[in-house]
Amino acid sequence: MPASRLLEIAALFIALGFAGCSRDATIATGTTPTASPATIDPLAIVLAPHAGSNRVDFQIRDYQGQVRSNFNREAAIERLGWLYVAKARESFDAGFYTLAEQCGLALERNASGSHAALLLRGHALHSQHRFAEAESLARQLVSARGLAADFGLLGDVLMDVGRVPEAEQAYQSMLDLKPDPQGYARAGHVRWLKGDLEGAIDVMRMAVAGSSPRDGESAAWMHTQLARYFWQSGASAEALGCIESAIAFRTNYPPALLLRGRINLADGNTSEAVAALQAAAKLNPLPEYQWALAEALRAAGSVAKAETVEREIISRGPASDARGCALFLATRRQQPELAVRLARQELTERSDIFSHDTLAWALAASGDFTNAAVHMETALQLETSEPRLWLHAGVIAFHRGQHAEAERWIRRAEEARARLLPSELSRLREVKELLGATAKAALP
């Protein structure tokens, strides 16, 4: 959506609060309008007019009508909530997760203690990075009902806050109850996270084999993940084939376009890279997408356009994706204080290995290599096959005088250089030259 749905929702909350939750109510002259969450009817929010012309949009309007007519009300509210989740995933507009959460609240008002409401709210809260609240609901579900979906939600939350062994146990329970593509995809991610790239490919193949056009977004995501694993294993042709399959399930799927652009950029096909990344960043303008686009534009000689994109990362990135923005700033060695602040903020919310890596890299950019090493050690503990981590570890080790360790990490990053962005390759060349100069100076 061109304008964030969050702004529309915020305006609607204000309007409903000021009007006493009635669209036809008026405010008496001279009064001060007040509102609290308890006085706002969630149905008034989720039944606001919805625009759009694709299949999900028509379904949303259909179920809004069913809720208004009291036709199978509870089932209609639940279905409407999951349609808002689908819309959020399809549009990459997080505002729709807020609407899904409101559907969950409405469902609870209609059916107190509803497990369906807890699951819906849990997914919405998790997607909004409200992890503590989401974990509480997930644990209630696991304790009271214990379906595969309940364990899946719990595992997702635990994974994002860095509690990998607990997440792995939850995913295993999910698969024991219901071995399906959703469970296999999660198992594949765990294997990749723990450095088992071959195992991740094997399990993700199982997920992809069971995917269906009935859930095109999930199918596209699974194919894109498999493509990512193939690319990391050096199988670019297989990766591109999976990307085509992902786009067949979901036309112009941004994660697939991003990966296609990254592969094209690594292969030196800059014009194709720019085209794919421009499309991806337009649909999902997060720092990760814009950073890759800026790199492709620079490689194509469009420096002014790249600088425009980079200014947008710095202006919008702190609010849209603090972690991605901090990584960009630290790699470019710009505004290190801001990078550290954003990385610390992210770590308080999402304490996985990638947040530790981001803070380590930001601290390194600020010159604090001692504390950077502490967080880098945590980031490396799972032995994840990610060259960005190896590059960061090598740079930090070098500046701490640990040259043998630095050489080990830089050698690994060099072997996977195709998966690094040009600005990261520049840092790789720089530290290699420093290591070479140091070794030369140490000769008798």
At position 168, the amino acid (one-letter code) is E
Cα atoms in the 13 Å half-sphere on the side-chain side of 40:
21
How far apart, in Å, are the Cα atoms of 422 and each of 3, 30, 412? 32, 61, 17
| pLDDT of the residue at 112 | 77
Give yes or no for residue 322 having a pLDDT over 50. Answer: yes
Dihedral angle sign, alpha carbons of residues 203, 149, 246, 234:
negative
Percent of the chain topping pLDDT 70: 91
Average pLDDT over residues 344-354: 95
Backbone phi, then psi, for 58, in 5-degree steps?
A: -65, -40
| pLDDT of the residue at 123 | 97
Give yes or no for residue 18 having a pLDDT over 50. Answer: no
CA 133-138-142 angle, 5° bins: 155
At position 326, the amino acid (one-letter code) is A
Average pLDDT over residues 328-334: 97
Give yes or no for residue 5 having a pLDDT over 60. Answer: no
| pLDDT of the residue at 39 | 62
Structure confidence at residue 436 as a pLDDT band (50, 70, 90): very high
Average pLDDT over residues 149-155: 98
Percent of the chain topping pLDDT 90: 84
CB 6 within 8 A of CB 24: no
CA–CA distance, 29 with 27 (Å, rounded to integer): 6
CA–CA distance, 307 with 198 (Å, rounded to integer): 38
CA–CA distance, 22 with 166 (Å, rounded to integer): 45
pLDDT digits (tens, 9 = 90+) for 23-66: 233 223 233 334 445 567 899 999 999 998 999 999 999 999 99
| pLDDT of the residue at 411 | 97
CB 289 within 8 A of CB 327: no
pLDDT digits (tens, 9 = 90+) for 163-203: 999 999 999 999 999 999 999 999 999 999 999 999 999 99
pLDDT digits (tens, 9 = 90+) for 100-140: 999 999 999 887 789 999 999 999 999 999 999 999 999 99
Give the contacts of 237 (CB within 8 A, at least 6 positions apart): none
The DSSP result for 244-263, as a single string, is: HHHHHHSTT-HHHHHHHHHH
CA–CA distance, 256 with 250 (Å, rounded to integer): 9
CB 271 within 8 A of CB 302: no
| pLDDT of the residue at 113 | 81
CA–CA distance, 340 with 360 (Å, rounded to integer): 9
The Cα diameter of the chain in Å comes to: 89
Instruction: Compute the mean pLDDT over every residue in the chain, rounded to the nearest whole number.
Output: 91
| pLDDT of the residue at 38 | 54
pLDDT digits (tens, 9 = 90+) for 369-415: 999 999 999 999 999 999 999 999 999 999 999 999 999 999 999 99
Residue 394: how many other CB atoms lie within 10 Å: 27
